[in-house]
Every structure is written in C-alpha cells, then in structure tokens.
Chains A and B, each alone.
Chain A
C-alpha cells in the first residue's frame, strides 16, 4: 500500500515535470507557439502573482476562488440534500416513482445551461441565479443515481430486513441508505462535476467575482496568461473537491475499503 502510493506520487510528479518541460520548450525556448496564442510559463507565473497580490477583475485570486467555491457549495449542497432523499423515495415507493419519473424524463434532456435565461429573469445577475443553475445541474444526477441505488439492493436483503422486523427510520438509515450508498456516491461525483461545469459557464455570462468572471474579463482584455491561470484554478478546485468527496466516500463505506485491501 505504502509503496503503491509512493509510486503514484512519483509518476504524477514525473508527468507534471514532463508537461512543464514540453510547455517551456514549445513556447519560451523555441517560439513554435506564439505568446499571443499561448503564454510562457514565466508569463503565467507573473499573472498568477499579479492576481494573487494586486487582484484582477474585481478582486484578488482568493476572493474569486472563495466566491466560486461558495456558489458550488450552495448549489451542490441543496441539490444533494433534496435530490438524494427524493431519489431514495422514488426507488422505494412505486407511487412516488409513478408520480415523479415522468417529470424527470422531461427534465433530464434539458441542458442545465438552458436554465440560465430563466434564472436571470427570476433572480437577476447576482449569485442567486447561479446557485439556481448549479442546483438544477447537480440535482438530476443525485436523484437518478440514488433512485438506481435503491433498485440495485438485492431482493433477499430487503426480504431479510422485512423478516427481521426492521421498519421505519431504522430501515431507511441502516438498510436503504447503506445499500444504495455506492450508487449515491456515483451520483454525488457526477453532481459535483456538473456543478463546476455549470458554475464557470454561468459566471462567464456575468459575474462580479468568480473564476468564470476572470476568464470573461481576460478574454476581453486578450490576456492569455490570465485565462490560463483561471483555467488552472478551475481544474484545481474541481480536482480538490472531487478528492474530498472521494475521502468522504472511503470513510462512509468501511466495509468496501477493507474489501479492497484484501
């Protein structure tokens, strides 16, 4: 296990260093790619320092990052809090499924970004409209995968719970939820990805702060190095929140972890 993770870290580092060398070679060292199209490593670093210390757009880097994180956390959080229970209910109750499934069949094919105009009409250009769009994007995968999770619980397990007299809240907490958990987490991962994608798109359309607003501003200023900085930070934010979710998943399902270790 130790050895494996060491190899993992080493190969990640090697790829990063390799990419840096290639990047440096094709831009700064040889000039194959013009700096007007793609910035040098040094330029990018300077842009990073500039936005981190003096700010760019309407704020410093950490303000943009925190604002984006805040919107994602709110939209994703509400989507999960509403979506997972709703999905579990649809999976367990035929009535709830019959009632809600047609609505989902209609909603699913609508791209989350198609909600942006309506969100702006309803809530204006402020944060609220972005949270709404993120919510819509994150909601569907949470519901669908929780619903599928319940359906994946083997019939004998539900019958065993019935036979043992497990009812009500105990049944939900100790049978329905843990049984659906692998699929619920699949849904959360998809929801989180959808949240970041949607956030950046929503911020591109109009925002005071946020990583998307940097991209928008830098495009208008024709400032490729700053565009790259913003893109890198979108990637870092997405990757680190996904990693956090993975850690949570590992902790939430100890019975799976020990299986993997065998």
Chain B
C-alpha cells in the first residue's frame, strides 16, 4: 500500500521580507495505484505540492505522508520526473538509468536486466551510449521516465513532464504513459497546466485555485472513463472526440477560467 496523504498542508515563502502563502490547507489522498493530476493556474502551488511529496520542500503547517510515513527527505521510493528532465549530462542514457540502481546496491546482472528492460519499454534501443544532449527533448524525457521507472518506485511524482515538448511529441508521450499506467499501475501524482492531458491521463483531477493554492474541486475521471470505455481507443484524438471527454474538459476549463478572471482584480 503506498498512499500519498496531504493533511491540512500549508506552505509559505519569504520574499523581500514578506511572507507569501503558496499552498493553503490542502488535504488530499492519492490512493494506492491511483493516478491523480493536479491542474491549476500558474503559480498556484501545484508544483510545491509535488515537491513536498518528494521531500524537496517541506510544509510550514500540516503533514505530508507517503505509505504512512512522514516525508522527511527525497528517496528512490518516490521517483521524480522533473519538468527540465534533470538528466546527468556527463552520463550516457544507460548510465543515467543505471545510476539509481547502483545506489540501491543491486547486483550487476540485475541492474543490466532492469536497464535493458526500461530502454526497450521507452523505445530507446540504439541510444544506450548516447549522451543526453545528443537526443531530442522527447527522447531525453523518455530517459528521465525510464530512470524513474527503473527504480521500481512505490510512488511516481511528475512535474509537468511534457511541458517542454512540442505538440506531436507530447501526444506520443501521453499515449505511451497511458499504456504504461494501465499495464503497471502505480501511485502517481502528476502536475500539469494542460487540461486535456489531465483528463486523458488521470483517474482523478484536482483543480486548484490561484494563489494561495487551495483545492477547489476534485473530479472523478475514472468513473466516466470506465463507464464510457475510453480505453478501447488507443489514439488520444479519438478519446478527445468523445462527448464525455469534451464535457469533463469543458467543466475543468470553466472552473480554471474563474481563477484566471480572479487574477485580474
């Protein structure tokens, strides 16, 4: 069982001597093997929420737990896929994926098996000895995802992982992620500002308000997806054409638009 729970979590920052409240009393449970996406206007604290689950930042009030334990530091049980990939430029594709496995102390045969498996899974065959900057953005992000998957983490934390990609590559990556998520479900917290992406990928979508970020509403996408059998379509555009998809997307859009309108005041 690996759940992520936020209990009354607040986080404030100091800037120029003033305190800013970034996240305001967020309570949320990401259930075991559930895919939850957080959407919200930029600066709403959604990335901060992910970083608190990762142990890269800490709440100023409340508590974040993963698998029942309070998060006190980053660790390979909570693999992070960063928006800017954060690959090690001096390591090859294989070495990047292998690095965390070495730290875990796995033996060499086991590590090689895992690296090869993830390279195949992410369509990176033939690029094992390439350095990250020799790859396109989409391929770099696949390496970052392979590196996270290779850790076999209880929890996967993804911070706008497709934000830096061009539209075509993003669609391919989204389809691949859906396949992987259905094949081998994990507890995922996915941060994005792309509404389509959230509805397409997630079991539940959390909508946050603009700063200070609070949870505005939570939509159960999985209930609709199962009822309307979205998974029979393998292409994202076919899913996006479904009336039930459009309906959910529009609802989230309207909800977010109220937040943007709020920004103008």
CB–CB A160/B82 < 8 A: yes
Are A255 and B104 in contact (CB-based, < 8 A)? no
Please, which residues of chain A bring their CB within 8 A of the CB of B147? 164
Partner of A157, one of B56, B88, B104: B88
Q: State the Cβ distance, B182 to closest chain A Cβ, in Å.
A: 25
- Bound Cα distance from A170 to B91, whole angstroms: 13
Which of the 9-residue segments B28-36, B71-79, B211-219 touches chain A? B71-79
Which residue of the partner chain, among A154, A178, A179, A258, contacts B134 with CB atoms under 8 Å?
A258
A166 to B75 CA separation, bound complex (whole angstroms): 9
Query: Counting CB contacts under 8 A, is A159 at the interface?
Result: yes
How many whole Å from B100's CB to the nearest CB in chain A? 4
Contacts of B87 in A (CB 8 A): 160
A159-B56, A162-B74 are contacts. A255–B131 as well, Cβ < 8 Å?
Answer: yes
Note all chain A residues with C-beta closer than 8 A to B88.
157, 160-161, 174-175, 178
Chain B residues closer than 8 Å to A178, beta-carbon distance: 88, 90
Across the interface, name the chain A residue whose C-beta is closest to B133: A259
Q: How distant is the Cα of A74 from the Cα of B192 in the complex, in angstroms? A: 56
Contact A163 B80 (CB under 8 A): yes
The size of the chain A interface, using a CB distance under 8 A, is 24
In the docked arrangement, what's the CA distance between A166 and B100, Å? Answer: 7
Q: A165-B76, A255-B133, A258-B131 are in contact. Are A160 and B90 (CB under 8 A)?
A: no
Question: Which residues 43-79 of B have a CB within 8 angstroms of A?
Answer: 54, 56, 73-76, 78-79
Set A163, A165, A254: member contacting B104, Cβ < 8 A: A165
**Distance between Cα atoms of A166 and B98 in the complex (Å):** 12
Q: Does B86 reach chain A (CB closer than 8 Å)?
A: yes
- Given known contacts A159-B56, A255-B133, A259-B133, A164 and B99 CB-to-CB distance under 8 angstroms: yes
Nearest residue in B to A160 (C-beta to C-beta)? B86
Neighbouring A residues of B75 by C-beta, 8 Å: 163, 165
Q: Is A156 an interface residue (CB 8 A)?
A: yes
- State in angstroms the CA–CA spacing of A254 and B79 once bound together: 28
Chain A residues near B89 (CB, 8 Å)?
255
Q: How many residues of B contact A (CB 8 A)?
A: 28
In the complex, the chain A residue whose C-beta lies closest to that of B132 is A255
> In the complex, what distance in Å separates the CA atom of A245 from the CA atom of B133?
25
A219 CB within 8 Å of chain B: no
Report the separation of the CA atoms of residues A163 and B144 in the bound assembly, to the nearest whole angstrom.
Answer: 12
Q: Is the CB of B90 within 8 A of A159?
A: no
Q: What does the 1/0 interface line of A137-167 toward B look like (CB < 8 Å)?
A: 0000000000000000010110111111111
Q: State which of A156, A170, A254, A258 has its C-beta within 8 Å of the C-beta of B82.
A: A156
* Chain B 85-125 interface 0/1 with A at a Cβ cutoff of 8 Å (1 = within): 11111110000000110111000000000000000000000
Q: Which residues of chain B are near A170, meaning CB under 8 Å?
A: 102-103
Q: For residue A152, give the distance in angstroms from its CB to the closest CB of chain B.
A: 12
Interface string of A220-262 (1 = CB under 8 A from B): 0000000000000000000000000000000001110011001
B104 and chain A: residue at smallest CB distance: A165
* CA distance in complex: A170, B84 (Å): 23
A-B CB proximity, top 6 nearest: A164-B100, A156-B86, A178-B90, A160-B86, A165-B103, A163-B74
Residues of A within 8 A of B (CB): 154, 156-157, 159-167, 170, 174-175, 178-179, 181, 253-255, 258-259, 262
Please name 8 further chain A to chain B contacts, defined as beta carbons within 8 Å, in addition to the given A163-B74, A164-B100, A255-B133, sorted by A numbering: A161-B88, A162-B73, A163-B56, A167-B103, A170-B102, A170-B103, A174-B99, A259-B133
6 CB contacts below 8 A, A to B, read A162-B56, A163-B78, A166-B99, A166-B103, A255-B89, A255-B133
